[in-house]
Amino acid sequence: MKLLRDKILSEGKCLDEGILKVDAFLNHQLDPKLMEQIGEEFARRFADSGATKILTVEASGIAPALMTGLKMGLPVVFAKKQKPSTMEGMLTASVHSFTKWQAYPICISKEFLKMEDKILFIDDFLAYGNAALGIMEIVEEVGAEIVGMGFLIEKEFQNGAKFLREKGMRVESLAVIESLENHEIKFKE
């Protein structure tokens, strides 16, 4: 998606260890118009998926997931990153965080994920696929189905897409980064 690639080039910053900082439009400040267009693009790509619900992980997945839900007319559920004391009947998985180098739990209430659900998972970044794997575990636990996974930014060199496709997932990424070597953002052609 050219618009997103341009935004990454003009406002993204490469940190050490293969991390891209996009606080200016996705991870801190949000660009609503861009999010709307991202929602439209995911809606177009997953129009034939048969999805009945969108799942994401708080916090940065929420904006693009919400816009996708709006464009597809689907409800959006976000996994919480800690166990809320008020939540009973939870589904949980442990996710290894690539940016923080530690594991964190993700939790979804059984109320909002049912066996008959066809899930479209949307997230900001795809690195190694750990967050997606945690979502797969939770969805599997209730016997629901994942019909697609959409990421705004895939860092191809961390092999998350390969890992997920080998597990049978349909993966769509709007911007695919081939390398961040020498602090230079290189997209896959």
Nearer to ligand 5GP, 27 or 52 (CB): 27
User: Shortest Cβ distance from residue 105 to ligand 5GP (Å)?
Assistant: 14
Per-position DSSP letters for the chain, written without gaps between them: -HHHHHHHHHH-EEETTTEEE-IIIIISS--HHHHHHHHHHHHHHTTTS---EEEEETTTTHHHHHHHHHHHT--EEEEBSS--TT--SEEEEEEEETTTTEEEEEEEEGGG--TT-EEEEEEEEESSSHHHHHHHHHHHHHT-EEEEEEEEEEEGGGTHHHHHHHTT--EEEEEEEEE-GGG--EE--
User: Shortest Cβ distance from residue 127 to ligand 5GP (Å)?
Assistant: 4
User: Shortest Cβ distance from residue 55 to ligand 5GP (Å)?
Assistant: 13
| Amino acid identity at 84 | P
Kindly list the residues in this chain that would bind ligand 5GP in the complex (CB under 6 A): 19-21, 27, 57, 60, 98-99, 123-131, 160
The 3-state DSSP class for residue 138 equals: helix
User: Shortest Cβ distance from residue 94 to ligand 5GP (Å)?
Assistant: 12
Nearer to ligand 5GP, 41 or 123 (CB): 123
Nearer to ligand 5GP, 58 or 116 (CB): 58
Nearer to ligand 5GP, 29 or 116 (CB): 29
Q: Which residue has the tokens 């009973």?
A: 88
Q: What values do phi and psi take at 24, rounded to 5?
A: -75, -20
User: Shortest Cβ distance from residue 20 to ligand 5GP (Å)?
Assistant: 4
Nearer to ligand 5GP, 72 or 127 (CB): 127
Nearer to ligand 5GP, 110 or 162 (CB): 162
User: Shortest Cβ distance from residue 84 to ligand 5GP (Å)?
Assistant: 20
The 3-state DSSP class for residue 151 equals: strand
